[in-house]
């Protein structure tokens, strides 16, 4: 591996999973409780340290604001938190802390992708994913907030019982209970067809597999044929399925992730534009510049300059009912 490639890898958008949380030198052990590389529960102090700068999640994160206010980006859109708002950030999303008021308090759950496979899946998981991707914040009723707080407190107590013979089994049972309650909460806040229980169709399975391959490969592969080959499908068949299931074409999904990655690198890294073009596997800086301008209306240099001046992402506000306001 060349010195240039090593430098580029170091400067790419960092990923955060349970193991990186556990080994972070910025986290006080008293503020976080973990089980293996699968579950972490933490509070205000930890979240402020963890998400400082654009970070790509390798975990599902559920957070509840208890006091004060906060603002952070999910996929470069800014969301404002206030007491009673719950946020759900999905694996693969880019998250960045913006600011927290001095009196901010919150509680958080982080669950690995492996753990998600064994936790209960109620309702239409794909529809939930597509909904939460665009609307990650929910304004909870007081009794719903109490449910989240109770599970957070009780699971942390069980996690701290390191001598318990069946500690892991107890924690798993409680996490399953929490996810059932989470689905109950979602049932009160998201469109009815999103949580309707139904068997996964063949087309939904294809889309989920496509998205898994996409998250792993979009930095280097942007052709429909590549993803179709991974799934042993023709490009035409894959394109039709993805469009039908998600409302977006394969190309639109690819471009969305590539542009988000490019913006995050322009926002946060010291990489020059040529290095970013190389990182995202563009033939040259000129081609990258044309691609970026086509989707954003400005060149990479203009985007970086504007971000340095304004430092203001698209802002999303929620009122007490959880309705998004622009």
CATH number at residue 155: 2.60.120.280
The neighbouring-strand residues paired with 138 are 86
Nearest Cα neighbor of 33 from 176, 160, 205 is 160
Domain membership of residue 183 (yes or no) is yes
Domain membership of residue 85 (yes or no) is yes
| 15 against 249, higher pLDDT | 249
282 is in which domain, residue-wise? Answer: 202-310
Q: What is the pLDDT of residue 37?
A: 86
Q: What is the pLDDT of residue 23?
A: 63
Domain count, the chain: 2
| 122 against 6, higher pLDDT | 122
pLDDT digits 0-9 by tens, 276-320: 999 999 999 999 999 999 999 999 999 888 876 555 444 444 443
Mean pLDDT of 214-230: 93
Percent helix, strand, coil in the chain (nearest 5)? 50, 20, 30
Contact 268, 53 (CB under 8 A): yes
- Among 131, 165, 196, the domain-final residue is 196
Structure tokens belonging to residue 307 = 């971000």
| 31 against 153, higher pLDDT | 153
Contact 14, 147 (CB under 8 A): no
Q: How confident is the model at residue 24 (pLDDT cuts 50, 70, 90)?
A: low
Same domain, 219 and 176: no
Q: Is the dihedral of CA 25, 26, 30, 34 positive or negative?
A: negative
Domain membership of residue 42 (yes or no) is yes
Question: Is the predicted pLDDT of residue 162 greater than 90, yes or no?
Answer: no
CB under 8 Å, gap of 24 or more: what pairs does 142-147 form? Answer: 142/84, 144/185, 144/188, 145/64, 145/84, 147/181, 147/185
Same domain, 152 and 240: no
Same domain, 289 and 165: no
pLDDT digits 0-9 by tens, 224-253: 999 999 999 999 999 999 999 888 999 999
Q: What are phi and psi of 160, to 5 degrees?
A: -80, -10
Same domain, 146 and 239: no
Mean pLDDT of 9-17: 64
Structure-token match 């590539």, residue found:
258
Q: 92 in the Ramachandran plot: left (φ > 0), alpha (ψ -120 to 50) or beta? A: left
The neighbouring-strand residues paired with 110 are 40, 61
- State the pTM of this model: 0.76
Domain membership of residue 93 (yes or no) is yes
Contact 42, 29 (CB under 8 A): no
What mean pLDDT is reported for the chain?
Answer: 83
Q: Which of 19-33, 44-58, 153-167 has the highest mean pLDDT?
A: 153-167
Q: What is the pLDDT of residue 75?
A: 85
SS3 state of residue 150: helix
Same domain, 211 and 182: no
Q: What is the pLDDT of residue 2?
A: 39
> What is the rounded distance in angstroms from the CA atom of residue 303 to the CA atom of residue 292?
10
Q: What is the pLDDT of residue 21?
A: 63
Taking each helix axis from N to C end, the angle separating 285-296 and 300-310, rounded to the nearest 10 degrees, works out to: 60
Same domain, 48 and 152: yes
Structure tokens belonging to residue 160 = 């701290």
Nearest Cα neighbor of 108 from 137, 65, 79 is 65
Contact 148, 174 (CB under 8 A): no
């Amino acid at each position: 591996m060349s010195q240039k490639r090593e430098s580029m890898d170091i400067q790419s958008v960092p990923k955060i999973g349970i193991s990186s949380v556990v080994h972070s030198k910025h986290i006080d052990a008293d503020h976080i409780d973990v089980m293996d590389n699968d579950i972490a529960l933490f509070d205000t102090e930890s979240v402020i340290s963890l998400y400082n700068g654009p970070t790509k999640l390798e975990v599902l994160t559920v957070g509840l604001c208890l006091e004060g206010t906060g603002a952070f980006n999910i996929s470069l859109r800014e969301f404002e938190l206030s007491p009673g708002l719950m946020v759900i950030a999905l694996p693969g999303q880019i998250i960045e802390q913006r600011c927290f008021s001095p009196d901010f308090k919150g509680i958080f759950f982080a669950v690995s992708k492996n753990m998600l496979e064994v936790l209960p899946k109620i309702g239409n998981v794909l529809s939930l994913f597509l909904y939460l991707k665009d609307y990650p914040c929910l304004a909870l009723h007081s009794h719903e907030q109490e449910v989240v707080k109770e599970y957070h407190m009780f699971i942390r107590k069980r996690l701290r019982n390191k001598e318990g013979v069946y500690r892991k089994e107890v924690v798993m049972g409680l996490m399953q209970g929490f996810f059932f309650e989470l689905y109950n909460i979602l049932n009160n806040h998201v469109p009815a067809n999103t949580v309707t229980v139904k068997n996964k169709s063949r087309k939904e399975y294809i889309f989920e597999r496509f998205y898994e391959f996409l998250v792993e490969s979009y930095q280097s592969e942007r052709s429909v044929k590549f993803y179709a080959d991974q799934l042993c499908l023709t490009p035409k068949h894959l394109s039709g399925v993805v469009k039908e299931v998600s409302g977006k074409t394969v190309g639109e999904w690819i471009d969305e992730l590539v542009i988000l990655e490019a913006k995050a690198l322009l926002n946060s890294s010291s990489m020059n534009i040529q290095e970013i073009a190389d990182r995202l596997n563009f033939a040259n800086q000129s081609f990258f510049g044309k691609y970026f301008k086509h989707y954003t209306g400005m060149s990479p240099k203009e985007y970086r300059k504007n971000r340095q001046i304004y430092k203001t992402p698209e802002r999303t506000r929620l009122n007490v009912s959880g309705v998004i306001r622009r």
